[in-house]
Structure 1
């Protein structure tokens, strides 16, 4: 994440003296509870953008509800399970909205807050913004996903092991993300964390290791289906690494981290229901249904977080959320057997990674914050030479406000997902 500058504690105890730090590094830890200064900066007001979230939800989920209730003839029992999961997810949305303000007070008490660099030089740049609120989303999501097992899974279910392994990987990644927020882990170490967190799912994975050859390439390959064996599992592990880190580095604007995951999660839901409606294979349907069971609560809790994180942000999501979101989407892609399609949904993140590669590899100097240049007089952002999609878009389109730039990037994300549907139809003939 790069949208904020973490603050240091106002005071320290005698037991722990402050060490020399980079001025942009994380909060200084104290051995005992710190006391707050009487002249500490004000806190950003907690405002939920409920009307915006409602409009966004209707826009993104209208195709999904049309397909499941009207276009496809979904099996009654399967539809019932999906609706039960949707109701639990809706409950998770309201619980998350209620818990975030409470959690914000606790993280502020422990000096886990930051300042918005994109508002530096304005009154908004002096406000303390609670940090690491992605932990609330992760906890509520896990509770909803675990409770749903009571309604859908039996103790002898073939999917129970993989489902719990998926939850273990997501839980592991959420924990590691929160550890990163607190300890400020070096970015080279961050590359290894998703590999460790993905181990429970990879070890329990019992699905196929094959890929479908695109129709235009079948005459040249000579096969319709290719079994990759252990190479496929290696690919899944690398996919988990890419998803978590790509969400983390495509950041820097209020609402961008959560917004991109909401768009991708909506596309995943639509993809799953289209695959269920287009096949008669029960096992294939069940795989995509299990993907839906995880994506619906993930999307609901993320929308609740977005209501506080949208411009102007009342909370920051932290690496906790970006890691949690990336691992969740990697898990549903693996569990739903559409990891190749998932990678196409991540086209903007792939482009951002390619633009960032020279700096991430050390070929070009890489500053801690690769943000656009903010002009406090006009309130507009100007692109810098840093290799990010945010800066590239500004250099291409010219100066923009933070809110409008975030909207442009999210529209680009939605267009990429729509092109993915068209590409998959052209290559495989699905979605009839």
Structure 2
């Protein structure tokens, strides 16, 4: 496919997403899928969620245009069989729809954490069963690949569920999750085009277009939230396109592309897990120790906080591209600079310090009643 065709798909995904938002708002109001102001949320007014419906609509519309282009305009088929990897793309999309459905139901009826996790695992199993697997990595010290065998199935399920949740957990400010997903998708798009992965490139364009379109109404001050339907959809799709992009790559460092592109939400999720474990709280219980909360406590506005985290993601994404295409003379110092900035941010924001100090001071541990009082599930705009 050429850049004009990619541009058409991008515009369709974005414009349809924008067009669907008003109808989705009305639907959310009718279903009472509303985020009401609370002590744990940053929104001051009731805001409809369920924005994932508009995002999915934009993606589906672009896929329809892609099919029409292949049928009537002679566009190349990005899903044509190849020697590297040919999953059942229909099965992959069914998995995406299932993950979206889990999030959409949770937006409306508030599923229990166990039921929601079970649904996510089923969605990931559908994708893994369709043949899209993290089956091997290029041998960094020799020729060929290191094959994972049967371990590829649980590894892929874990990978996809993890990606779904890192976006879900970071969805705490207006435009934050959509912007980070857009930047990550753009990064994978560049890598996919460079390595001739048309399926990854097309999915990246669709995700990028839908996210940009959604930001029109989701950036501060947001008039709609994406909800779990959107956050799980975006995170899961990001994990899928990253698998498309790095599958059978001849470059070991290509594995760093999706990891660095999603580096900010990965770090945020990692420290959230460590923090909650050390504070003897369930992982699914909300707190206000996330990166965006710490930036706002440092005096940054909501808009500035989002832009800072976007900028951090852009830096890591640029690093991912450079270390993939450059030689070691350039690759190593670029990586060290990005790592240095990230470590500085971790230290400056005290991402781990509070949890460690709390862990070693029994007087600050929550009692049982405090745990029960705070035992609420993470929700949209409350992914802290």
TM-score (norm 1): 0.65
CA contact (8 A) 2:175 2:220 kept: yes
Name which of 317, 320, 337 aligns with 1:417: 317
The alpha-carbon distance between structure 1 residues 362 and 320, as it changes in their structure 2 partners (threshold 3 A), is farther
- In structure 1, the residue matched to 2:58 is 140
Spell out the pairing of 1:277-356 with structure 2 (5 A cutoff): 285=196, 288-338=197-247, 340=255, 341-356=257-272
User: Unaligned 5+ residue runs, structure 1?
Assistant: 1-77, 276-284, 372-385
Q: Does 1:158 align with 2:75?
A: no
CA contact (8 A) 1:348 1:413 kept: yes
Cα distance in structure 2, aligned partners of 1:364 and 1:412: 30
The alpha-carbon distance between structure 1 residues 120 and 416, as it changes in their structure 2 partners (threshold 3 A), is closer
Name which of 88, 106, 118 aligns with 2:27: 106
Name which of 283, 291, 297 aligns with 1:389: 291
Q: Does 1:268 align with 2:185?
A: no
Q: Alpha-carbon deviation of 1:168?
A: 1.3
- Root-mean-square deviation (Å): 3.1
Cα distance in structure 2, aligned partners of 1:106 and 1:182: 11
Cα distance in structure 2, aligned partners of 1:258 and 1:390: 14
Aligned length in residues: 314
Cα distance in structure 2, aligned partners of 1:365 and 1:408: 29
Map Cα deviations across residues 368-412 of structure 1 (whole Å, 9 max, x no partner): 5434xxxxxxxxxxxxxx3x22234456xx221111111111111
Cα distance in structure 1, aligned partners of 2:17 and 2:267: 32
Q: Does 1:238 align with 2:158?
A: yes
CA contact (8 A) 1:134 1:320 kept: yes
Q: Alpha-carbon deviation of 1:206?
A: 6.5
SS at match of 2:67: helix
CA contact (8 A) 2:184 2:261 kept: yes
Spell out the pairing of 1:244-255 with structure 2 (5 A cutoff): 244-255=164-175
- In structure 1, the residue matched to 2:7 is 86
The alpha-carbon distance between structure 1 residues 137 and 430, as it changes in their structure 2 partners (threshold 3 A), is farther
Map Cα deviations across residues 191-211 of structure 1 (whole Å, 9 max, x no partner): 333221122321121678321
Q: Alpha-carbon deviation of 1:163?
A: 2.1
The alpha-carbon distance between structure 1 residues 324 and 206, as it changes in their structure 2 partners (threshold 3 A), is closer
Map Cα deviations across residues 260-299 of structure 1 (whole Å, 9 max, x no partner): 1111111111111222xxxxxxxxx2xx111111111221
Spell out the pairing of 1:63-74 with structure 2 (5 A cutoff): none
